[in-house]
Amino acid sequence: MITEDRLRHPEKAHRPATPVLRKPSWIRVSRAESAAYGETRAVLKAEALSTVCEEAGCPNRGECWSKRHATMMIMGEVCTRGCSFCNVATGRPDALDAFEPGRVAQAVAKLGLRHVVITSVDRDDLDDGGAAHFAQVIRAVRHRCPETTVEVLVPDFLHKGAAWETVVDAAPDVFNHNLECVPRLYPAVRPGARYYQSLRLLDEAKRRNPAIFTKSGLMVGLGETLEELRQVMDDMRIAGVDFLTVGQYLQPTPRHHAIDRFVPPEDFARIEAMARSKGFLAVSATPMTRSSFHADDGFAALQAARRAQPANTEPANV
């Protein structure tokens, strides 16, 4: 859902407008026609939960919700950062809701999910960046739905010391943090973030608990080069990242970061081949890939790839 009336960071509100380009034929917005879509919406509404599917205006919502897959966005609908690609509202968030972990777990049970992805807005206003709340949500889902595997897509915990350890110690099955773009573009795309902070978070999470799969995602079409993508892949592999997702950036409104180009499917095939040559356990690189798209299948692929590895295998050389 793209609206112009939501809270905007001054950097976004005062950004010169750039027309949103017409999408090529290979970018498809999936339609919401099934009964299951309506049921998913009803469960989320009954439990008063937000989703990144709605807040980010994800084009895959029709398909995902028709399979009852929704990525829940905890800790409110207002983010403390002002990333230029993101459609989530920016401002001063509300206090945390102590009942939210229970409602997330209830929704997971009602939807019958075998794998759930939980993400959040950035909460720079909290001393721990929301790490303890994330851990409570993981534990609540584990308690209510012990068969469900849990993937968290976390913020960077910049300036929050070792708060991220609380999330890792709650033992999610997948610890995901998106690098989003190549480091040269950080000042324009993620002005509040630091590339090496994000990379180090992934590295340290893997070192703290090597049994947890780590995952990261990139958007392309922002102005990056293939060489820059190659370097980021190398950085991720050195940090032990298991799963890479790469998808096309779509500009939400004229006030967001301008799109540089629509990357054609054949270029995505090259990016995927490059990533696979680096030794990631799993790779998804298509125009419609989002870090939570088909996340259950991605998790199954990770498990299969790990099982197929010889014992004591070191991460592949890059």
Under rule CB under 6 A, which residues in 159-198 are in contact with ligand SF4?
A: none
Cα dihedral 49, 53, 54, 55 sign: positive
Q: How far is the CB of 58 from ligand SF4 (least distance, A)?
A: 3
Q: Is 8 in the site for ligand SF4 (CB under 6 A)?
A: no
Residue choice 43, 44, 64, 232 for contact with ligand SF4 (CB under 6 A): 64
69 vs 123 by CB, closer to ligand SF4:
69
- Could you give the string, one character per residue 219-258, with x where binding to ligand SF4 holds by CB under 6 A and - elsewhere? ----------------------------------------
Q: Whole-angstrom distance between the N-terminal and C-terminal Cα of the chain?
A: 40
9 vs 61 by CB, closer to ligand SF4:
61
Q: How far is the CB of 71 from ligand SF4 (least distance, A)?
A: 4
**Binding residues for ligand SF4, how many (CB under 6 A)?**
12
Q: How far is the CB of 298 from ligand SF4 (least distance, A)?
A: 11
Q: How far is the CB of 204 from ligand SF4 (least distance, A)?
A: 26
Q: How far is the CB of 117 from ligand SF4 (least distance, A)?
A: 6
Q: Is 52 in the site for ligand SF4 (CB under 6 A)?
A: yes
Residue choice 9, 12, 15, 69 for contact with ligand SF4 (CB under 6 A): 69
3-state per-residue secondary structure call for the chain: CCCCCCCCCHHHHCCCCCCCCCCCCCCCCCCCCCHHHHHHHHHHHHCCCEEHHHHCCCCCHHHHHHCCCCCEEECCCEECCCCCCCCCEECCCCCCCCCHHHHHHHHHHHHCCCEEEEEECCCCCCCCCCHHHHHHHHHHHHHHCCCCEEEEECCCCCCCCCCHHHHHHCCCCEEECCCECCHHHHHHHCCCCCHHHHHHHHHHHHHHCCCCEEEEEEEECCCCCHHHHHHHHHHHHHCCCCEEEEEECCCCCCCCCCCCCCCCHHHHHHHHHHHHHHCCCEEEECCCCCCCCCHHHHHHHHHHHHHHCCCCCCCCCC
Under rule CB under 6 A, which residues in 71-90 are in contact with ligand SF4?
A: 71
Antiparallel, parallel or unpaired: β 72-74 and 78-79: unpaired
183 vs 217 by CB, closer to ligand SF4:
217
Q: Which stretch binds ligand SF4 (CB under 6 A): 62-70, 140-148, 180-188, 190-198?
A: 62-70
61 vs 206 by CB, closer to ligand SF4:
61
53 vs 89 by CB, closer to ligand SF4:
53
Q: How far is the CB of 67 from ligand SF4 (least distance, A)?
A: 9
- Could you give the string, one character per residue 274-293, with x where binding to ligand SF4 holds by CB under 6 A and - elsewhere? ----------------x-xx
Q: Are 93 and 78 in contact (CB under 8 A)?
A: yes
Q: Please give the residue ranges that form the binding site for ligand SF4 (CB under 6 A).
A: 52-53, 58, 60-61, 64, 69-71, 290, 292-293
